[in-house]
Amino acid sequence: MKRRQILTLSALALALPYRSLFAQAHHGMQHRNMDMSGHHSGSNSGLLALGALPHGERLRPLEKLQNESTQAGRFTARLSAQTQGIKLAKPYVSQMYTYNGNAPGPLIEVYEGDTVDILFYNQLPEATTVHWHGLPVPPDQDGNPQDPVAPGEQRHYRFTLPEGSAGTYWYHPHPHGQTAMQVARGLAGTLIVHSRTDPLAEMPEQHWMISDLRLDEQAQIPPNTMLDWMNGREGQFILINGQYQPSTSLAPNTRLRIWNSCSARYLRLQVDGCQWVLLGTDGGLLESARPPSDELLLVPGQRVEALLISEQDRATTLRALYYDRHKMMVEERPQDYVLAHVQVPKQGNNFVPARLRDTIHLGQPTAKKKVTFSEMDMSHDDHDMSMSMLQSMFMINGKVYNMDRIDLQSKLGEVELWQVFNDSHMDHPFHLHGTQFIVTEREQAGQRLTEPYPAWRDTINLQPYETVYFLVKQDQPGIRMFHCHILEHEDLGMMANLLVS
């Protein structure tokens, strides 16, 4: 952080269009003028006022993608990426990127064993792909940046979901260098794989897809500023299922599935007077429910299944508490956000079965991988910050992403121990494609801690100078990406290719 202050705001001003710098500076000021209700009380330059979006409306369930197949075990549907004007704040029409006209995109609900065939149509003015975040789909069906779908083109995404893949996933674009802006414009959707032997099948479900959105004074989506590229973009509106501060009530024993599909925002979720009981992570249920906790941290890309418990019926508030992820060049004032108003019934967790699934394990590793996230050391550097500097700033194993370079290789089916080190002053969420891994240990400041419980994950946070160890196995040949899931960092090259063969 100190080191970064060498990049003074005046250096930044040279590289930034005046207007966006102005908007950024005022955005910072607004934070100091926020009152308890979470609304801006100060003036609002450059950005749409928080009060301009309807709030307090009933939370709507996610729109579902219709299965056009009548055959058992098949899911056939059409998905198109298209520009769409959406009335978010009257009288404006916000121009967004959508899947089938919706932001967020439709929920895809499938079962283990299903064969999925999605006819994708790119109606955007630019190339895109559809990446199935967390799913074990073949690499050539996974929307890699090497497989762009040109504007006006169609293609099928086809895959069969193996047994054991039940979990909470999502899909989003992954084109080379354009992921962050396409997601910022609205492209992302949810996907759930159900199991036919789900021990919690009786629990009602509620889905909270949390994203954020930045709107300017005309309710349009502005491009990234230099600070967005550096720290990841955070919109002033935090949305659930596309709605701002909605209200919802939970039926007794509701199984919540929660997605953090923000580009960069860390969500430290808390519900006043209630506790979370964690039931599952990215790749499905835990072996057993975790003891109750007050907070749930979801970093960008992560998902959970959870239960809220309360000693009495409550009308309460879902908040995102301040999380310091050590942004560069930004003096942050701790700030909590109201995400939703929630009615929680009096309920405990004693109805949850003691065992939720078979053992989560992968066996002994027979190979090792070392991955280091780093940032260019600019302590001796006094140039002005520019886009080209940013494009060489975020690295994996000392290199910026090159689509055509193979960075690491793994053998098909071999269990590996990965050691991922964050050699930087800032948090970065690590994500690996095509499979789920099991974190075994974490190490920070010379302290090595055994992970308290096994869980299937595809995204894990790395605090500054933290090392995370995990076990992993890739079961399909081809190229997989691993990267920072702050989408701006991914686009700037904090990504690498793993060849599985």
Q: Which residues bind ligand C2O (CB under 6 A)?
A: 131, 133, 172, 174, 301, 431, 433, 481, 483, 485
Which of the stretches 153-161, 179-187, 349-357, 485-493 binds Cu ion when contact is defined by CB under 5 A? 485-493
**Nearest approach, Cβ of 498 to Cu ion (angstroms)?**
12
Taken in order 450, 231, 148, 399, the sign of the CA dihedral is negative
CA-nearest of 380, 407, 402 to 391 is 402
**Nearest approach, Cβ of 299 to Cu ion (angstroms)?**
10
**Nearest approach, Cβ of 236 to Cu ion (angstroms)?**
21
**Nearest approach, Cβ of 303 to ligand C2O (angstroms)?**
11
Instruction: Please choose which of Cu ion, ligand C2O, none residue 357 contacts, taking the beta carbon within 5 to 8 angstroms, the exact cut-off set by kind.
Output: none
Written as six digits, the tokens of 325 are 């992820």
Q: Does 428 bind Cu ion (CB under 5 A)?
A: yes
Nearer to ligand C2O, 143 or 246 (CB): 143
Nearer to ligand C2O, 75 or 169 (CB): 169
Instruction: Please choose which of Cu ion, ligand C2O, none residue 300 contacts, taking the beta carbon within 5 to 8 angstroms, the exact cut-off set by kind.
Output: none
Instruction: Please choose which of ligand C2O, Cu ion, none residue 484 contacts, taking the beta carbon within 5 to 8 angstroms, the exact cut-off set by kind.
Output: Cu ion
Cα end-to-end span (Å), the chain? 41
**Nearest approach, Cβ of 432 to ligand C2O (angstroms)?**
9
Instruction: Please choose which of ligand C2O, Cu ion, none residue 489 contacts, taking the beta carbon within 5 to 8 angstroms, the exact cut-off set by kind.
Output: Cu ion
Which of the stretches 216-224, 267-275, 378-386, 422-430 binds Cu ion when contact is defined by CB under 5 A? 422-430
C-alpha 405/C-alpha 399 separation (Å) is 10
Q: Which of 130, 265, 489, 493 binds Cu ion (CB under 5 A)?
A: 489
**Nearest approach, Cβ of 118 to ligand C2O (angstroms)?**
17
Nearer to Cu ion, 27 or 172 (CB): 172
CA-nearest of 410, 438, 418, 423 to 494 is 423
Nearer to ligand C2O, 172 or 457 (CB): 172
Interface positions, 430-459, toward Cu ion (CB under 5 A)? 433
Instruction: Please choose which of ligand C2O, Cu ion, none residue 428 contacts, taking the beta carbon within 5 to 8 angstroms, the exact cut-off set by kind.
Output: Cu ion
Nearer to ligand C2O, 174 or 257 (CB): 174
Long-range contacts of 139-142 (CB under 8 A, 24+ apart): 139/433, 139/434, 139/476, 139/477, 139/478, 139/479, 139/480, 139/500, 140/478, 142/433, 142/434, 142/480
Residue by residue, DSSP assigns 254-316 as: -EEEEEE--SS--EEEEETT-EEEEEEETTEE-SSPPPPBS-EEE-TT-EEEEEEEBSS-EEE
**Total interface residues for Cu ion by CB under 5 A:** 6
Asked whether 338 and 361 are in contact (CB, 8 A), the reply is: no
Instruction: Please choose which of ligand C2O, Cu ion, none residue 481 contacts, taking the beta carbon within 5 to 8 angstroms, the exact cut-off set by kind.
Output: ligand C2O
Instruction: Please choose which of Cu ion, ligand C2O, none residue 192 contacts, taking the beta carbon within 5 to 8 angstroms, the exact cut-off set by kind.
Output: none
**Mode of pairing for the β-strands spanning 105-111 and 189-194:** parallel
What are the DSSP E strand ranges found in 35-188?
Answer: 74-86, 94-99, 105-111, 115-122, 131-133, 154-160, 167-172
C-alpha 88/C-alpha 100 separation (Å) is 17
Q: Does 133 bind Cu ion (CB under 5 A)?
A: yes
C-alpha 222/C-alpha 197 separation (Å) is 46
> How many CA atoms does the CB half-sphere of 333 hold within 13 Å?
9
Q: Which of 209, 258, 304, 486 binds Cu ion (CB under 5 A)?
A: 486
Written as six digits, the tokens of 451 are 């992970």
Strand partners, 449: 442
CA-nearest of 447, 443, 435 to 471 is 435
Chain positions contacting Cu ion, by CB under 5 A: 133, 428, 433, 484, 486, 489
